[in-house]
Amino acid sequence: MNEKGANIDLVFRNGLKDFEVLPPPEVWDGIRPFVKIRPRPFIFLRVAAVITVLLTVSFFTYRWSRELSTGPAGSVFAFNMEASSPVISQPDNNPQNLPTIKYNQIKNSPDVLTDVVDPTTTLPEIETIAIPEEVIYIQETKSLSITKNETLRGPFLTSLNTSQGNSIKIKEPDLQYFPENITTKPKNRWSIAALASPTYYSSFNSGSDGLSKQLMESEQPLFSYSGGVAFSYKISKRFSIQSGLYYSALGQKVEGINSFSGFKPYDNTKGVDNFKVLTINGTIHTSNPDVFLIADGSDRILTDFTNDVIDPKKASLQPINSSLNQNFSYLELPVVLRYKIVDKTIGINLIGGLSYNLLVNNLVYTTLDGNRYPIGDTKGLKPLSLSSSLGMGMEYNLSSKLSLNLEPTFRYYLNPFSVTTGSYIHPYSFGIFSGLSYKF
């Protein structure tokens, strides 16, 4: 039976080999024009996305660690009165034992087709494609089907071994089961994004007292930035929820505060809180025993070492700068809801949500020849604050998985950083976040 079965198999296999029947014209009419919106997956873009994420994380980790290392516990400049020139002090718990280095040293530091095609054949115009004669013939002989039992025409199979002059093959090696890989895979709802932005930082004053206004007038925003990694989960076609971890550095410059160095010999209180400077974000407390501060025409400095007690010029204190810089760094845990308004190649999202901000770095410094000169820190800051954010996100799909994001975002801090001055100062920031988003 096996041999007989094999024979009948061969009859059909060889008889139907290269058999052609011209399909009715309406079949082609029913095939819609096909447009592949996206190209093949970009392995290079995937790699680029991973690199971008790693670089972003590394960058912010580095910045964070750097800022921490240059905090009040880090190296500080100091002036040695005996040497009559500024010297650098290494961290030391005992301010009395600070080693010194010459000022000049510090100043100078700093990405077998086997289809048989006749190569001589030129592609005809679609409109003029000739229907092969063989195909027309077969269609004409279709009436010879056994069910209709009509006249017979055309070449017959003469024998088993010589049919169509082709050798018999039991199996065609390239005919393998092509299983379910045609079907589309279920979509993964998760995506990861790396975003960063320079931000403009300022504050709203909800109070009306004169001191707050005076303070705000003398405070200017410093270069601020924010960035991090966000994970988002697509709840529905249009809604998605996003969270992640961001690092943001905010800052402002307090004008009108003159700083001098070399005050340590006059300090009898071991350098703790010699000067307190009122700002809209809290009170600056000095921790550097060698610094002397004096306000330029205002009474925002609280100290026992007033101008009446010590005159910096007479005491030969070395002027450093006429402003102080306040830096606040936050680790942010946002919970953001996104609503996709436009879902095309360029998508537009409406973004809104809340963010918990954990204060991780708080530094006040001034600058001397481009170098940071630590002053102290800002007291009265709330370690945890809550901010709201509202933005409009634009998303350009580079591929089905990778997209370029641009998100102008306004952030408003719901609770003030502090209430030092009696007025409620609500900081806000505006940034245009840009980055890459990768959909899994």
Residue type, position 277, single letter:
V
Q: Is 7 exposed, middle or buried (0-12, 13-18, 19+ CB in 10 A)?
A: exposed
Binding part of the chain for other proteins, among 106-114, 201-209, 218-226, 397-405 by CB under 8 A, reads: 106-114
Tally Cβ neighbours within 10 Å of residue 341.
12
How many residues does this entry show for the chain? 440
* Residues pairing with 340 in the sheet: 349
Which residues inside 393-422 make contact with other proteins, applying CB under 8 A? Answer: none
> Least distance from C-beta 116 to other proteins, angstroms?
8
**What whole-number distance in Å separates Cα of residue 397 and Cα of residue 400?**
7
Q: Assess 342 for contact with other proteins (CB under 8 A).
A: no
14 three-state secondary structure: helix
Q: How far is the CB of 172 from other proteins (least distance, A)?
A: 6
Q: Where are the beta strands (DSSP E) in 124-238?
A: 190-205, 219-221, 224-234
Calpha distance 5→322 (Å, rounded):
101
Q: Is 93 in the site for other proteins (CB under 8 A)?
A: no
Give the span between the Cα atoms of 215 and 97, in whole angstroms.
37
- Identify which of residues 142 and 189 has a Cβ nearer to other proteins in the complex: 142
Q: Does 172 bind other proteins (CB under 8 A)?
A: yes
C-beta of 27 vs 43, nearer to other proteins: 27
Residues in region 181-200 near other proteins by CB under 8 A = 181-182
Closest contact distance (angstroms) between CB of 2 and other proteins is 10
Give the distance, in angstroms, between the CA of residue 359 and the centroid of all CA atoms in the same chain: 21
Q: Tell whether residue 8 is a contact of other proteins (CB under 8 A).
A: yes
Looking at 11, 47, 384, 386, which residue binds other proteins (CB under 8 A)? 11
Q: Which residue's CB is nearer to other proteins, number 121 or number 268?
A: 121
Contact call for residue 176 and other proteins (CB under 8 A): yes
d(CA 302, CA 284): 10
What is the distance between the alpha carbons of residues 372 and 67, in angstroms, rounded to a whole number? 11
Please identify which residue in 58, 61, 84, 158 interacts with other proteins, judged by CB under 8 A. 158
Stretch touching other proteins by CB under 8 A, among 60-68, 145-153, 236-244, 314-322: 145-153
From candidates 55, 83, 135, 272, binder to other proteins by CB under 8 A: 135
Contact by Cβ (8 Å): 197, 433: yes
- Residue 44 binding other proteins, by CB under 8 A: no
Task: Indicate which single residue of 51, 54, 160, 342 sits in contact with other proteins (rule: CB under 8 A).
Answer: 160
114 binds other proteins (CB under 8 A): yes
Angle at 412 between CA 406 and CA 413, to 5 degrees: 130
With binding defined as CB under 8 A, does residue 123 bind other proteins? yes
- 144 forms part of the interface with other proteins (CB under 8 A): yes
- Residue 225 tokens read as 């930035």
Of the residues 147, 167, 208, 236, which one makes contact with other proteins according to CB under 8 A: 147
Does 22 interact with other proteins (rule: CB under 8 A)? yes
Residue among 141 and 388 whose Cβ is closer to other proteins: 141
DSSP, collapsed to helix, strand or coil, labels residue 186 as: coil
Q: Which lies closer to other proteins via its Cβ, residue 119 or residue 297?
A: 119
Shortest approach of other proteins to residue 348 CB, angstroms? 25
For other proteins, the closer of residues 163 and 349 by Cβ is: 163
Number of amino acids touching other proteins (CB under 8 A) = 71
Which CB, 146 or 309, lies closer to other proteins? 146
Helix, strand, coil fractions of the chain, as percent rounded to 5: 20, 40, 40
Q: Please, which residue, 110 or 119, has the CB nearer to other proteins?
A: 119
What's the CA gap between 407 and 423, in Å, rounded? 32
- Of 114 and 208, CB closest to other proteins: 114
Residue matched to tokens 């020139």: 85
Figure out which of the listed residues 93, 96, 121, 208 binds other proteins, where binding follows CB under 8 A: 121
Considering only 174, 185, 268, 309, the residue that binds other proteins (CB under 8 A) is: 174
Cross-strand partners of 333: 356
Point out which residues pair with 367 in neighbouring strands.
372
What SS3 class is residue 162? coil
CA torsion, points 147, 148, 153, 155, in degrees to nearest 10? -10
Here the tokens at position 337 are: 């809801």
Quick check: 217 and 435 in contact, CB under 8 A? no
Give yes or no for residue 168 binding other proteins (CB under 8 A). no
Q: How far is the CB of 50 from other proteins (least distance, A)?
A: 23
Q: Which of 110, 119, 370, 383 forms a contact with other proteins (CB under 8 A)?
A: 119
